Structures are given as structure tokens and as C-alpha cells.
Amino acid sequence: MRNPDPAKTERAESAREAKPAEPQGAPPQVSARSAAEAREALRAAARAEHAAQHQGPNAGAAPEPAGGEAPEVRPQETTLSETRFARLRKKKDMPEGLWLKCESCGQMIYRKELEEKGRVCPACEFHFTLPGRERIAMVLDPDSWQERFADVRTVDRLKFHDQVPYLDKVRKAELRTGQSEALLCGTGAIEGRPVVLAVLDFSFLGGSMGEVVGEKIALAAELAAARKLPLVIFTSSGGARMHEGVLSLMQMAKTCSALAELADKGGYSICVMCHPTTGGVTASFASVCDLTLAEPGALIGFAGPRVIATTLKQELPAGFQRAEFLLAKGQIDVIVRRADMRGTLARLLDYGRGPRVKHDVRRGRAAKE
């Protein structure tokens, strides 16, 4: 309680009430009149400018009486907002999907050009979120991809309903993306090096982690251990899937223990965090691999920056939760541009497996010969 004295409060209130009464009773003061004159002068200037620009039938309309402040201002505002709406309408009329706006620099980009550049903004190099299948095609050797565990399907254990039943949402996402869940899992090769690959697709319910995603990460880790292959994971996710409640949170522990087991068995894992990687995914399997890579400018964090700023009531440092910021803090090991991803991964795969992989490659070649 800041003001415990009721008398003081009353006084303050009565003072507040008294203030607006002054201009009503008293004639207009000098300062008020001069302010009104200044406003009128500005308005006249704006009218003249408007008339010069448009030269419409109402351009030379008679000025309003001095007292009519509100009706005078309104037509001007309407005209301005109308032009603004017209501009928006024009934007909306553009052919759907031909152009899009860069979410980092705001530049309008021709969609075809963006796709040719691997969904990297030609103006600012912002790395757009890639659909899972495109990522796989970009990273793996042609025709080396063999999908695994595609038959693991979502079960609505909690019978979760918000506006739409949870399972309806999943089915809709299945139809839209042509895949059964947010995680695509399988085997393939990167510049001739065989790997187990897991890719989180943001376009499937925000790449959120439910039971299926957790199970598939665990299965991928087990497959990597059984076949003695390195595991490469790409993440872009909004975090745990709220429709599965605590069951989705349990996947954090499950995926972490699966990766720990892989490490215990002498396995090797690399995670590439892509824009955006947040929530329970950042806080579990994305952060515990042997190497943590990130794409330039990727947003990586647990809670979003706005939530943190509001909770702490503090201004956040520039570049907060971006890949470059996290590299400086030691959260990630290296930032890799999309164009260099294949080559860098190939080098890191050799590095991780050490002499054994070279031996294996030699043996493989010898066997072929």
C-alpha cells in the first residue's frame, strides 16, 4: 500500500477531479489559444498540400468554423488511412506465393530466386526454415535416402480437444505435408559417408515434439548404435507438443537418455540447430549431441525473448538467442552456412569417427575392388 492515509487519497482525488473543470468555466487562456492557432495553421498547410497533390473536387472546400476541431481532423485522417488500406489491398492482390517478404530484412524476394538460393535471402543471407524433405535432398547424396520408422503414428492418449480434436489436427498436417509426423528419420550418405539422419520439419505442427518424435529419436539413436553409424539431427521446432501434455515433456528425458546410451556405446552424434529451435527440443536432444552446429541467424532458446523480457522486466542484449550470440557464449560449437553444410558435415563425420572411418572406407573400397 503506497498511500495508507485515506485523507490524502481523498485530497488527491478531489484535486484530480478539479483540474478538468478549469477550462470549462474560465474563458480560453492565452497558451491554449496559441496552441489552437498553431494546430489550425498546421491543418491549413496540410489541406493545401493535399489539394495540390490530388486536385479533387473537394480540394478547395471551405474551411470549417474555428470551433469544429473534430470534424475538421477526421476527413484528413480518413483520407490517409484510405490510402494506407489501398496500399494493403494492392499487396494482397499480388499473385499468391510469387513474392514473399524476408522476415529478417523485410526485402521482397522473388520466390523462385529464393528457392534457387536454397531458401537463403539474397539481400541479408537470412536462412529461412526448410521443409524436411528439402533439407534431406540438400544434405544427402542423391538417391541415398531410405526412410525408416515412418509407420510410428500418433495416439491421442489424453483425448485432447481445444477448438479441434487433436487427432484431426494431426490428420490435417499429414495431408498437407504428406508425412506421418514432424520427424523424418532414415539412413543415407553425406559425400559417401553413411549416416543415420533425423530431420524435424517445422511445417508439421511447428516441429513440435510429442511421443512419436521422441520415440523416433530414440529409435534413430538405437539404429546408429546397432549399425555403428554416426547420427545427424536437424532441428527446427516450437518445443514440446502441448496437445500431449506431460507425455511430451517426458520425451525430453527419453531422447536424452537414448543419446547418452549411444555415446556410451561409442557412437557419435551431431545436431544442427536451424531457425527456429526452441522449448523442449532445445532443452533436450538438440543440446546434448557430441557437436552442436547452427545455421546463421537461427533463433535458439527455451522461452521466447518477449516472455523473458516481460518476466525479468529487463531489456535483453542485442542479438539475444541468435546463433551468433550463442556461439560467443559457448552454447554452440560452430555456425555453418547452408551452402557449406554438406562439406562441413562430411569433414566433421571423418573427424568424429577418427581413424576407424578411414579404415572402414579403405576396407569398403578394397571389398569393392
Bridging pattern class, strands 146-147 and 183-190: antiparallel
What phi and psi, each to the nearest 5 degrees, are found at residue 241? -85, 110
C-alpha–C-alpha distance, residues 78 and 274, integer Å:
44
Amino acid at 82: E
How many residues are present in the chain? 369
Pattern 181-200, Zn ion, x by CB under 5 A: --------------------
**∠ CA 293-294-295 to the nearest 5 degrees?**
140
Which residue among 100, 102, 167, 303 contacts Zn ion (CB under 5 A)? Answer: 102
Query: Binding segment for Zn ion among 89-97, 115-123, 276-284, 303-311 (CB under 5 A)?
Result: 115-123
Ranges assigned E (strand) in the chain: 99-101, 108-110, 146-147, 183-190, 193-200, 231-237, 269-277, 291-294, 334-335
| Least distance (Å) between residue 297 CB and Zn ion | 9
Q: Does 100 bind Zn ion (CB under 5 A)?
A: no
Which residue among 61, 66, 124, 307 contacts Zn ion (CB under 5 A)? Answer: 124
Size of the site for Zn ion (CB under 5 A): 8
Q: Does 339 bind Zn ion (CB under 5 A)?
A: no
Pick the closer one to Zn ion by CB: 12 or 124: 124
| Least distance (Å) between residue 129 CB and Zn ion | 14
Pick the closer one to Zn ion by CB: 126 or 202: 126
Residue 106 burial class via C-beta count within 10 angstroms: exposed 0-12, middle 13-18, buried 19 and up: exposed
Query: Binding segment for Zn ion among 99-107, 147-155, 235-243, 290-298 (CB under 5 A)?
Result: 99-107
Q: Does 344 bind Zn ion (CB under 5 A)?
A: no
Query: Binding segment for Zn ion among 105-113, 151-159, 179-187, 270-278 (CB under 5 A)?
Result: 105-113
Which residue among 120, 126, 213, 255 contacts Zn ion (CB under 5 A)? Answer: 126
**Cβ-based neighbour number of residue 292 at 10 Å:** 20
Pattern 32-61, Zn ion, x by CB under 5 A: ------------------------------
State the cell numbers at 23: 477550462
Residue among 342, 334, 266, 265 nearest 298 (CA): 334
> Which residues inside 243-272 make contact with Zn ion, applying CB under 5 A?
none
Please name every residue paired with 209 in a beta bridge, in sequence order, or none if there are none.
240
Instruction: Please give, one letter per residue, the 3-state secondary structure of 132-168.
Output: HHHHHHHHCCCCCCEECCCCCCCCCCCCCECCCEHHH
Q: Does 105 bind Zn ion (CB under 5 A)?
A: yes
Which residue among 104, 144, 203, 344 contacts Zn ion (CB under 5 A)? Answer: 104
Q: Does 123 bind Zn ion (CB under 5 A)?
A: yes
| Least distance (Å) between residue 100 CB and Zn ion | 10
State the cell numbers at 88: 494493403
> H/E element holding 78?
helix 69-93
Task: Give residues in contact with Zn ion (CB under 5 A).
Answer: 102, 104-105, 107, 121, 123-124, 126
